[in-house]
């Protein structure tokens, strides 16, 4: 490829953060990020966890995984809800995200994950985002101070600053490295090595647990490679090969998460915002995309701190907008600046959903885009493109003192500042308080005045380039702090405001009571009274839970029917009043909820000696509702290849579950005659069983749970969950790591020879 880029102010070398003497910037970034999030890590008064998704779903998922890591288990299966579900395959629990592994290794407190650890984990995510964007800015030739501003804009504002879901953030933090190594590869600097690295970090974004950011980054990288391949108005075969290598390594690197997710996806339904969950093969309706798009009015949220009506707020502030705009204008002759501007513009236009033709066309013709149900999440591209332009602005403005753009922009800022001030005063005097007019509009006014003064100082030479750069960094941080940390909840003071987190400690007495009985059996609880994933939080088995998806066989089974609950060993119910006949009250907790027992619940394991063929799950429901049918004696089988049982007298059978771990179950069975041992856990591919050390087959009994044929006499059944999808996916990711290290080593060795 031809090198067409003009010389940068800072000579480009290898990855700057790995060079001796290059640690000052990363150290300053750490100080900036820690001080920016002082509420979380320098006090014990605030938290980012007070919210329904975080308290009800994310924390319990992390609690379950942390407890498993303390037991030296890498959790693949979650037995705590819906009779057991694949954990890695669900993706959202983030089991494959490397940053989460650091969190899970942190010490627990009384067996529970520490809020302090969660707060530092949150800060670490943002620091890593800042560090990666800093590296991108430095490779683009930006000065250290300017790069600090660009890194701060990316990590503390825009998408990364506004979004709290770690599943999304853990993908977004790697986005700058995807672009960094693409830039190097397309301009001919060790093209193979850098193409591999760009694709590798794209693959790492897929390990985060959420697909939206990864899909949008993949689309962007594909579009950029297409441009490189055809930019000379003819097919560039070498560029095409590099693109193929880049995308192939991305597929390999993502395997640890994407392969198990694909296996789970085709066998599950997913809640996407419609009235009913959708199977993977059904297209997410465009009406859902319309619902989760930016509205045109939300574009004011780019520079107004009062416009926060959307969880994917693109805010970077007045100073950030001015610096990025001037940086783009003054450095427009650089090809990479034009690429950054295109990425930012494409992201914000796509995020507008139905108000953007681009969004509809891409939704209609590009595979998997319809699965990314939130076009507004494309603001990650806006942040990725505009943040380095902030650094360009800081570096280029002092060198363009005679530019007419500086004078015009200064006067425009003065006008905007005056307008915001007058509007704020009028609304304050009139006591009008809609969302757009809270007192932070004056922050925009102050920032506009300050930015106008800074430009004037730069233009007239009253402020040095370095002094102005430091002031610009401070102004950017001043604005971002009025949005990104503004609404952090204070906890421990207001029971109403802290309702979600307080719930997590309200029902431990109910769980202790059930555990004290030692009789096994699952728990069903009132989801209105216990909105969080009680099973994951306390490490008990429950029927219900707060998930994004559910295996198709559980969804089809209508598990809230009484016969199905009995079949799934639902022995206890947590609620204020009974929900079915025959429930017996056992205990009342301090929360007012009671423990009721279902006397007809089946044991966790039992044996049967009769079988009946059924066509599908509907036939299973018909049989289970038949009062003359006894599921304790007869198993329903829908698989034509399943062996039928020969009836015999098994009243003397002794079956018990001697060990139950997340991914391993041990059952002791002493059978009077040949039959089937039933375990009331969800059947799913990947579970394997040995009977007395010999491999056997797990049948899908009753269309839902696991059954194993055994002969007469004593037996030990060991079930393990080790799906081929995990082994293949892990091998793919490991292969990608080895390839990247090997190629990087060979290239470096050849270069130094």
* pLDDT value for 252: 97
Give the strand pairing for 77-78 and 85-86.
antiparallel
Question: Is residue 94 over pLDDT 60?
Answer: yes
Beta strands in 34-144 (DSSP E): 46-47, 77-78, 85-86
Whole-model pTM?
0.92
Yes or no: say if 182 and 218 are a contact pair by the CB < 8 Å rule: no
pLDDT tens digits for 354-389? 999 999 999 999 988 999 999 999 999 999 999 999
% of the chain exceeding 90 in pLDDT = 75
Per-residue pLDDT, 8: 42
List residues bridging with 687 in a β-sheet: 721
**Can you give the pLDDT at residue 308?**
67
Contact 29, 134 (CB under 8 A): yes
Mean pLDDT of 624-638: 90
pLDDT at 184 over 70: yes
Q: Mean pLDDT over all residues of the chain?
A: 90
pLDDT at 137 over 80: yes
Q: Residue 492's pLDDT is what?
A: 60
Q: Given a cut of 90, is residue 449 above it in pLDDT?
A: yes
Is the pLDDT at 496 greater than 70, yes or no?
no
- Predicted pLDDT at 642: 85
Question: pLDDT-based confidence at 711, cuts 50/70/90?
Answer: very high
pLDDT at 494: 53
Sole residue written with tokens 């995984």: 65
**Given a cut of 60, is residue 435 above it in pLDDT?**
no
CA distances from 350 to 296, 314, 461, 726 (A): 12, 13, 41, 34
Read off the pLDDT of residues 296-307 as tens digits, 9 standing for 90 and up.
999 999 998 877
Mean pLDDT in residue range 511-530: 93
Q: Per the structure block, which two tokens stand in for 436? A: 């757009």
Per-residue pLDDT for 699 more than 80?
yes
Quick one: average pLDDT of 35-56? Answer: 92
Closest to 558 in 3D by CA, of 614, 607, 619, 611: 619
pLDDT of 309 above 80: no
- Residue 615 pLDDT exceeds 90: no
393-422 pLDDT, tens per residue? 999 999 888 888 888 888 899 998 898 888
CB count, 10 Å around CB of 515?
A: 12
Query: CA torsion, points 181, 182, 183, 184, in degrees to nearest 10?
Result: 50
493, pLDDT greater than 60: no
- Contacts of 248-252 spanning 24+ positions with Cβ under 8 A: 248/199, 249/195, 249/196, 249/199, 249/200, 249/203, 249/736, 249/739, 249/740, 250/199, 250/200, 250/202, 250/203, 250/206, 250/218, 250/221, 251/203, 251/732, 252/203, 252/732, 252/733, 252/735, 252/736, 252/739
State how beta strands 634-637 and 610-613 pair.
parallel
Q: Average the pLDDT over each of 1-15, 293-307, 593-607 and give the range with the smallest value.
A: 1-15
Mean pLDDT of 653-668: 95
pLDDT for the residue 339: 97
Q: What is the pLDDT of residue 12?
A: 41
pLDDT of residue 432: 64
pLDDT-derived band at 753, boundaries 50, 70, 90 = very low
pLDDT of residue 751: 63
| pLDDT reported for residue 272 | 87
Lowest mean pLDDT among 36-50, 303-317, 384-398: 303-317
Q: Which pLDDT score, from 0 to 100, does residue 20 have?
A: 46
Query: DSSP state, 576?
Result: S
What pLDDT was estimated at residue 619?
87
Residues 130 and 151 sit within 8 Å (Cβ to Cβ):
yes
The structural domains of the chain, with segments of one domain joined by +, span 157-163+171-265+725-753, 506-597, 605-722
For the chain, the straight-line distance linking the first and the last C-alpha, in angstroms and rounded, comes to 23
Cβ neighbours around 368 below 10 Å, total: 11
**So what's the pLDDT on residue 5?**
38
């Amino acid at each position: 490829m031809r090198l067409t880029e003009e010389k940068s102010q800072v000579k480009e070398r290898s990855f700057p953060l790995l060079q001796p003497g290059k640690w000052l910037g990363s150290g300053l970034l750490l100080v900036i990020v820690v001080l920016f999030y002082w509420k979380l890590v320098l006090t014990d008064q605030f938290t980012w966890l007070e919210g329904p998704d975080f308290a009800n779903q994310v924390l319990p998922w992390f609690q379950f995984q942390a407890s498993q890591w303390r037991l030296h288990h890498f959790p693949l299966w979650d037995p705590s809800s819906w009779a057991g579900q694949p954990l890695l395959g669900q993706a959202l629990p983030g089991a494959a995200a490397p940053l989460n592994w650091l969190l899970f290794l942190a010490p627990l407190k009384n067996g529970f994950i520490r809020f302090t650890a969660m707060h530092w984990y949150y800060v670490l995510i943002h620091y890593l985002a800042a560090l990666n964007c800093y590296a991108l800015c430095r490779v683009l030739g930006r000065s250290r101070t300017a790069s600090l501003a660009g890194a701060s804009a990316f990590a503390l504002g825009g998408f990364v600053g506004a979004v709290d879901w770690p599943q999304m953030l853990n993908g977004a933090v790697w986005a700058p490295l995807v672009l960094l190594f693409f830039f190097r590869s397309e301009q001919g600097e060790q093209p193979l090595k850098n193409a591999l690295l760009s694709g590798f970090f794209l693959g790492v974004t897929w390990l985060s647990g959420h697909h939206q950011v990864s899909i949008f980054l993949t689309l962007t990288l594909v579009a950029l490679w297409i441009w490189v391949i055809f930019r000379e108005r003819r097919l560039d075969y070498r560029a095409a090969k590099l693109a193929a290598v880049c995308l192939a390594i991305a597929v390999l690197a993502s395997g640890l998460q994407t392969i198990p997710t694909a296996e789970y996806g085709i066998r599950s339904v997913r809640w996407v915002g419609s009235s009913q969950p959708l199977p993977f093969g059904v297209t997410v309706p465009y009406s859902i995309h319309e619902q989760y798009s930016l509205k045109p009015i939300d574009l004011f949220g780019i520079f107004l701190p009062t416009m926060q009506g959307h969880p994917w707020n693109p805010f970077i502030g007045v100073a950030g907008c001015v610096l990025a705009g001037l940086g783009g204008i003054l450095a427009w002759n650089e090809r990479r600046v034009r690429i950054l501007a295109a990425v930012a513009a494409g992201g914000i236009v796509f995020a507008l959903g139905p108000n953007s033709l681009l969004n509809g066309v891409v939704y209609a013709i590009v595979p998997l885009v319809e699965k990314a149900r939130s076009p507004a999440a494309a603001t990650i591209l806006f942040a990725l493109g505009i943040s380095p332009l902030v650094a360009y602005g800081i570096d280029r403005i002092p060198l363009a003192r005679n530019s007419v753009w500086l004078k015009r922009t200064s006067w425009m800022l003065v006008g905007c500042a005056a307008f915001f001030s007058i509007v704020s005063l009028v609304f304050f005097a009139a006591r009008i308080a809609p969302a757009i007019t809270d007192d932070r509009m004056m922050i925009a006014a102050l920032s506009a005045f300050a930015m106008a003064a800074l430009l004037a100082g730069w233009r007239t030479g009253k402020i040095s380039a370095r002094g102005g750069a430091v002031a610009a960094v401070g102004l950017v941080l001043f604005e971002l702090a009025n949005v990104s940390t503004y609404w952090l909840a204070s906890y421990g003071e207001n029971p109403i405001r802290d309702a979600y987190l307080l719930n997590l400690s309200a029902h431990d007495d109910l769980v202790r009571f059930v555990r004290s009985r030692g009789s096994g059996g699952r728990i069903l609880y009132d989801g209105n009274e216990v909105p969080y994933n009680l099973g994951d939080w306390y490490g008990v088995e429950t029927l219900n839970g707060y998930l994004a998806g559910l295996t198709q066989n559980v969804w089809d089974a209508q598990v809230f029917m009484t016969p199905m609950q009995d079949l799934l060993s639902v022995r206890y119910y947590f609620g204020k009043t009974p929900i079915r006949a025959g429930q017996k009250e056992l205990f009342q907790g301090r929360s007012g909820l009671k423990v009721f027992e279902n006397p007809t619940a089946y044991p966790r394991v039992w044996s049967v000696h009769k079988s009946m063929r059924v066509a599908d799950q509907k036939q299973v429901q018909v049989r289970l509702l038949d009062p003359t049918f006894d599921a304790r004696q007869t198993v329903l089988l829908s698989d034509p290849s399943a062996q039928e049982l020969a009836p015999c007298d098994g009243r003397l059978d002794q079956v018990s579950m001697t060990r139950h771990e997340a991914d391993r179950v041990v059952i002791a069975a002493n059978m009077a005659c040949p039959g089937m041992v039933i375990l009331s856990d969800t059947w799913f591919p990947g579970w394997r069983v040995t009977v007395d050390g010999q491999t056997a087959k797990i049948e899908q009994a009753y269309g839902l749970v696991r059954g194993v044929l055994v002969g007469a006499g004593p037996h030990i059944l060991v079930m393990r969950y080790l799906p081929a999808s995990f082994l293949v996916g892990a091998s793919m990711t490991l292969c990608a790591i080895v390839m990247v290290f090997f190629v990087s080593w060979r290239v470096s060795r050849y270069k130094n020879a």
